[in-house]
Amino acid sequence: MNRNSLISLALVLLAIMLVSACAAPTPPPAPPPPAGATVAPTSAPQPTTAAQPATPKVIRMRITRDPKSLEPGLFSELITGYIANDMHAQLLRFDDKNQPVPYIAKSWQVSSDGLTYTFNLRNDVKFQNGRTVVADDFVYTFTRDLDPRVKAAIGPTDFSNVKGAKEYIAGTAKTVEGFQAPDATTFKIVLTQPEPAMLMRLASPFTAVIPKEAVVDGKPQWKDKPIGAGAFRYVDWQTNVKVVLEANPDYFLGKPKIDRLEYVVVPDATTAIAQYQKGELDIIGVSGGQLAQVNNDPTLSKELKTFPRAQLTFFVLNEKRVPAFKDKRVRQAFIYAINRQQLIDKVMLGDRYLATGYVPTGISEAVPDEKAYPYDPAKAQDLMAQAGFPGGKGFPKIEFVTTSDEGSLAEALTAMLKSNLGIDVTVRIGESGDVLNGLWALDKWDIVSWGWTADYPSADNWLYQLLYSKLDSNFASYNNPDYDKLVDKALSEMDSAKRIADWQTVEKMAHDEAPMIPFGFAKNLFLVKPYVKGFSASMMGPNKFENVDIVK
Amino acid sequence: MSRYLFQRLIATVFSLFAATLIAFLASRLAPGDPIRLMLGDRAVSSQVVHQLQQQYGLDQPILVQYGYFVRNALIGDFGTSYYYTGKPVLEVIAPGIWVSLQWESLSLALAVFGALVLGVLSALKQNSWLDHLIMLFALSGISLPSFALATFLMVIFSLQLGLLPVAGLDSPAHFILPCLTLAAQPAALLARLLRASMLEVINQEYMRTARAKGLGEMAVILRHGLKNALLPSLTVLGIMVGRIMAGSFLVETVFSIPGLGRIGVQAVVERDYPVILGITVLLSFAFLFVTFVVDLLYGFLDPRIRYA
């Protein structure tokens, strides 16, 4: 082959690559939505659904990253939990007041010792492969969650108190004794110690039921496509592009109003807003960083929907690093010295509510009419003087750690501490994985800004998980035996009214003790197109799309 | 020639080892624990974390872990992803390969074509307003960060003019903005280089000879001028491929393109070590292969270079 023919060959190959790049779009090519059109399908109607209406009702919602898995027990993060919520169904679910109510379970009884839960299941719930859901399916699903080979995050955390769980994980038992199915519509869970949060856990989408036949034996894989029992069934998952679901006509609570639901992966927030404006997306979540743009745009600001979210953001005062934080007066002084309302309004542009305490408003155990510490520099100085640090004298130089999206917060906050308390605080901006790692190491950061989202809407997510002395997630290393005692009491109380009162007692003590600086109760912010009707979010995230409709 | 090929092969294997070792150490030594990231806001005891670390083999010393990685990689097993629990790395990466190959080769072609036109034009019209304009473009192409260019293009062509889709890769129209963004910087670099080598070539004696024997100006420029001016640029081609691959990490994120770059960025954020390593091996191999081909091509096109 001579030189010229080789060059020609190279050119031809390049041309073929270019043509194939243009001509072979991965999904079927879709006509761009006509200008002004409100709803346009992004691809041709799926052949699996017969008798589609002329224009299918499709909702395209942004997710920030590809889901980990479509198996509920393998999800552990909020975003992909959205998909589980629509595809799958579990024993219970949350009502508007964040309380567990019947879902697949019609009713349930808890034994007086709090150790045995008996669920009476509906007999009309079908998996999306047509088979009826029976109690054995829950035994299978929950046992699978504990199987070390599956590496599910949910099992070891949620079912650790189930009788026989430890033996099963250790490999000394073939089944989990505490999961029982006496008959097709009765499912029992037996615990080794009372756990009032159990019902909450069973209302989370992570504990949804899956059919045995959809799973390759022993491997964490689906045979061909994921099957659940929820309102929407699986159509397609294009890695890093989107997850497409369609209405499940056999859903036990009735077929959803929309035909298709697409969760589109859009990692970049600016891109997401542009796509929303152009009509390529119908619902997008918005974070604080985009609020300036949204508020300044007359259309976007009208379409912004705000819902409270079960997340507390806070500043950890690490007692292990800075012994001065063991003094309650110092901790309180820090709270008085920081104008949190102003930080939220001016720096965070109102992306969260001021945290009055540790349990977000809306959670049933929150203390009604709880008053946040006011901004009071004089009182702060007074308390510091009492604690032996008048004008900040003798106080060690400390470091405030946060992630890059909170750079301006760090500047404003450290300026307040300097001018009100006379304390020098340096700022360290870290990558989130780095900050998280230091947080769990417990002895790495002096003050760190972080947030804690609930797995289920209950006070123990914050008052127990963040402040109980024996837990690794007690980032402040706060250690108070009296506090622990109150928590123990609340944790073991089975009566719900008494439990609420107990947690409120704990919250009042935490409020006074101020082991961390509560900063904000988070908001769930969404831009929702006006033709999307009935979209709402609970404190745990968007509600199921089963009642959402499109009205042009 | 065969001896040269053999030497290159050995060098390639060594480079691959070095690349994986660096990627391995960098990802492990960077603070951040994949297990904790996986668990998110869960009050999990250190016992459970340790249990999961054992399941993932993360409790072993780093060099032992690297040893396992090399041993398994040699038989084509890159392990399973941490993020996509239990999914083999190759399955995670595979869909991204074709996507990246498509749109990145398109960007490369666009960059080369654009640079050829601009570089030759500005050399021929040296010191004219056109030359200054092109060099101004080239300078801004080099200095403008790609995320800024991406946003700029998005606002103008998608939002203001409504001509092009914002993000994704669903149709041929979707390729335009990301390809322009990715091509801009390498095109600008190559255009400047081409202009310089064109200027050098234009005054060579063989150009005068070509004109003297009555060839048309186009033929003189293309057959004698460009062909010789291209030679120095050919070496840059390998570097350009590297730049395109590196640039894709950011551009794929901005335009929601499901290619290797996006998968890589997510893997880094999640500390998904096996996927990070899988992508490193793949991209290093691709880069080494392209450099190798360019070297061979160089000797082929320029008879003065001989491999001995």
Is the CB of residue A439 less than 8 Å from the CB of residue A516? no
A241 to chain B, any CB pair closer than 8 A? The answer is: yes
> How confident is the model at residue B291, as a pLDDT?
84
Find residues 401-460 of chain A whose CB sits inside 8 Å of chain B. 431-434, 436-438, 440, 451-455
Best residue in A3, A8, A271 for a mutation probing chain B (most B CBs within 10 Å): A271
> How confident is the model at residue B294, as a pLDDT?
82
To the nearest whole angstrom, how far is the Cα of A230 from the nearest Cα of chain B?
Answer: 22
Q: How far apart are CA A48 and CA A50, in angstroms?
A: 6
Average pLDDT over residues A284-309: 93
- Determine whether the interchain pair A25/B169 forms a contact, defined as Cβ–Cβ distance below 8 Å: yes
Q: Is the pLDDT of residue A35 over 70?
A: no
Instruction: Please give the C-alpha separations between residue A349 and each of A307, A357, A359, in angstroms, as whole numbers.
Output: 16, 20, 22
Q: How far apart are CA A494 and CA A472, in angstroms?
A: 25
Is the CB of residue B83 less than 8 Å from the CB of residue A220? no
Q: How far apart are CA A260 and CA A41, in angstroms?
A: 9
Name chain B contacts of A78, Cβ cutoff 8 Å. Answer: 40
- Determine whether the interchain pair A278/B158 forms a contact, defined as Cβ–Cβ distance below 8 Å: yes
Name chain A contacts of B253, Cβ cutoff 8 Å. Answer: 267-268
Whole-number average pLDDT of chain A: 87
Helix (H, G, I), strand (E, B) or coil at A511: helix
> How confident is the model at residue A224, as a pLDDT?
67
Which are the contacts of A326, defined by CB distance < 8 A and separation ≥ 6?
A: A319
Name chain A contacts of B166, Cβ cutoff 8 Å. Answer: 271, 274-275, 278, 280
CA atoms within 13 A on the CB side of B94: 7
Q: How far apart are CA B124 and CA B216, in angstroms?
A: 15
To the nearest whole angstrom, how far is the Cα of B106 from the nearest Cα of chain A?
Answer: 6
Phi and psi, residue B303, nearest 5°: -60, -15
CA atoms within 13 A on the CB side of A387: 25
DSSP 8-class letter at B164? S
pLDDT values of chain B reduced to their tens digit, one per residue, 308 residues: 678 788 888 888 888 888 888 888 888 887 777 887 777 666 677 777 887 788 778 888 888 888 888 888 888 888 888 888 778 899 899 989 999 999 999 999 999 999 989 988 888 888 889 999 998 988 888 888 888 899 999 999 999 998 999 998 888 999 999 999 999 988 998 898 888 888 888 888 888 888 888 888 778 887 788 878 888 788 788 888 888 888 899 999 999 999 999 999 989 888 888 999 899 888 888 888 888 888 887 777 777 766 54
Q: How far apart are CA B262 and CA A441, in angstroms?
A: 30
CA angle, residues A252, A258, A259, in degrees to nearest 5: 90
A33 to chain B, any CB pair closer than 8 A? The answer is: no
Token pair listed for B51 = 């249990």
- Determine whether the interchain pair A240/B96 forms a contact, defined as Cβ–Cβ distance below 8 Å: yes
Find residues 201-220 of chain A whose CB sits inside 8 Å of chain B. 219-220
Exposed/middle/buried for residue B217 (C-beta within 10 Å: 0-12, 13-18, 19+)? exposed
Name chain A contacts of B300, Cβ cutoff 8 Å. Answer: 3, 6
A50 or A469, higher pLDDT:
A469
Q: How far apart are CA A551 and CA A542, in angstroms?
A: 19
Q: How far apart are CA A31 and CA A37, in angstroms?
A: 12
> How confident is the model at residue B257, as a pLDDT?
92
Is the CB of residue A366 less than 8 Å from the CB of residue A360? yes
Is the CB of residue A420 less than 8 Å from the CB of residue A430? no
Q: pTM score, two decimals?
A: 0.83
Q: Which amino acid is at A438?
A: G
A76 to chain B, any CB pair closer than 8 A? The answer is: yes
Looking only at the bridges linking them, the beta strands covering A398-403 and A425-430 are parallel
- Determine whether the interchain pair A153/B42 forms a contact, defined as Cβ–Cβ distance below 8 Å: yes
> How confident is the model at residue A23, as a pLDDT?
42
Q: Which of A45-54, A273-282, B89-98 has the lowest mean pLDDT?
A: A45-54
Average pLDDT over residues A177-198: 93
Q: Is the pLDDT of residue A334 over 90?
A: yes
Name chain B contacts of A433, Cβ cutoff 8 Å. Answer: 30-33, 37, 269, 271
Domains identified in chain A and CATH numbers:
58-282+529-550 (3.40.190.10), 288-525 (3.10.105.10)
The chain A residue lying nearest B261, using CA atoms, is A240
Picking from A93, A91, A66, the residue whose alpha carbon sits closest to that of residue A77 is A66
Burial A421-442 (b: 16+ CB within 10 A, else e): bbbebeeeebeebbbbbbbbeb
Is the CB of residue A258 less than 8 Å from the CB of residue A59? yes
- Determine whether the interchain pair B32/A157 forms a contact, defined as Cβ–Cβ distance below 8 Å: no
Residue pLDDT, tens place only, A70-88: 888 876 666 677 888 899 9
Token pair listed for B139 = 């300078």
Average pLDDT over residues A348-362: 94
> How confident is the model at residue A153, as a pLDDT?
67
Burial A174-213 (b: 16+ CB within 10 A, else e): eebebbbbeeebebbbbbeebbbbbbbbbbbbbbbbbbee
Average pLDDT over residues A436-459: 89
DSSP 8-class letter at A132? B
Q: Is the pLDDT of residue A275 over 80?
A: yes
> How confident is the model at residue B34, as a pLDDT?
80
Is the CB of residue A242 less than 8 Å from the CB of residue A171? no
Q: How far apart are CA A353 and CA A309, in angstroms?
A: 10
Token pair listed for B84 = 């996509």
- Determine whether the interchain pair A23/B172 forms a contact, defined as Cβ–Cβ distance below 8 Å: yes
Residue with tokens 């050829």: B116
A25 to chain B, any CB pair closer than 8 A? The answer is: yes
Token pair listed for B166 = 């914002």
Picking from A452, A464, A470, A454, the residue whose alpha carbon sits closest to that of residue A490 is A464
Is the CB of residue A359 less than 8 Å from the CB of residue A522? no
Q: Which residues pair with A94 in a beta bridge?
A: A100
Picking from A289, A228, A307, A278, the residue whose alpha carbon sits closest to that of residue A64 is A289
> How confident is the model at residue B39, as a pLDDT?
73
To the nearest whole angstrom, how far is the Cα of A288 from the nearest Cα of chain B?
Answer: 19
> How confident is the model at residue B300, as a pLDDT?
74
Q: How far apart are CA A72 and CA A485, in angstroms?
A: 35
Q: How far apart are CA A432 and CA A447, in angstroms?
A: 15
Token pair listed for A175 = 């089944």
Is the CB of residue A103 less than 8 Å from the CB of residue A91? yes
> How confident is the model at residue A9, as a pLDDT?
47
Is the CB of residue A125 less than 8 Å from the CB of residue A134? no
Q: Which residues pair with A263 in a beta bridge?
A: A61, A243
CB pairs under 8 A between A and B: 187
To the nearest whole angstrom, how far is the Cα of A275 from the nearest Cα of chain B?
Answer: 6
The chain B residue lying nearest A430, using CA atoms, is B31
Domains identified in chain B and CATH numbers:
12-89 (no CATH), 90-307 (1.10.3720.10)
> How confident is the model at residue B41, as a pLDDT?
67
Burial B262-286 (b: 16+ CB within 10 A, else e): bbbbbbbbbbbbbbbbbbbbbbbeb
Q: How far apart are CA B218 and CA B120, in angstroms?
A: 12
Best residue in B27, B35, B41, B294 for a mutation probing chain A (most A CBs within 10 Å): B41
Q: How far apart are CA A427 and CA A414, in angstroms?
A: 8
Name chain B contacts of A465, Cβ cutoff 8 Å. Answer: 43
Is the CB of residue B263 less than 8 Å from the CB of residue B93? yes
DSSP letter for each residue of B269-291 = HHT-HHHHHHHHHHHHHHHHHHH
Residue pLDDT, tens place only, A126-143: 999 999 999 999 999 999
Picking from A338, A474, A349, A476, the residue whose alpha carbon sits closest to that of residue A405 is A349
Q: Is the pLDDT of residue A173 over 50?
A: yes
Q: How far apart are CA A524 and CA A541, in angstroms?
A: 7
Residue pLDDT, tens place only, B139-196: 888 888 888 899 999 999 999 998 999 998 888 999 999 999 999 988 998 898 888 8
Nearest to A274 among B37, B45, B159 (CB): B159
> How confident is the model at residue A36, as a pLDDT?
38
Is the CB of residue A110 less than 8 Å from the CB of residue A244? no
